[in-house]
Amino acid sequence: MIELVEYIAKALVDHPENVTVNQVEGEQSIILELKVDPEDMGKVIGKQGRIAKAIRTVVKAAAAKEGKRVVVEII
């Protein structure tokens, strides 16, 4: 799942070299922490979080296929 988040984020931002994703195992779910260049924050969040929501939706769909619960956090 890390690769998927990284892949989407890199395609959206202007500084793909500064994209990192960390995985934190939660009790019931996996938390993926997405970090991007400060200049690119808007590119992964969007107006009213629309881009962030779309990323979460796609990652959730991929995770559901594997029977996992995944949360994407942008930090």
Partner 1 sequence: MKVLEKQAKTVDEAVKLALDELRVSREEVEVDILEEGNKGILGFLSKSAKVRVTVKPKPEEIAVNFLKGILNFIDSDAEIKSSLEDDILKLEIESKDAGILIGKHGSNLDALQYLTSLVVNKNCKDFVRVVLDAENYREKREETLERLAIKMAEKVKETKKSIVLEPMYPNERRIIHTALQKDRRVTTKSVGKEPYRRIVISLR
Q: Is 30 exposed, middle or buried (0-12, 13-18, 19+ CB in 10 A)?
A: middle
**Residue from the set 26, 29, 39, 53 that interacts with partner 1 by CB under 8 A:** 53
Q: Between the CA atoms of 62, 21, 51 and 40, what dihedral angle is there, to the nearest 10 degrees? A: -160
64 counts as binding partner 1 under rule CB under 8 A: yes
Strand segments (E) across 1-75: 20-25, 30-35, 70-74
CB of 38 to partner 1, least distance (A): 18
Site string for partner 1, 7-46 (x = CB under 8 A): xx--xx----------------------------------
Listed ranges 1-9, 15-23, 24-32, 33-41: which one lies at the site for partner 1 (CB under 8 A) = 1-9
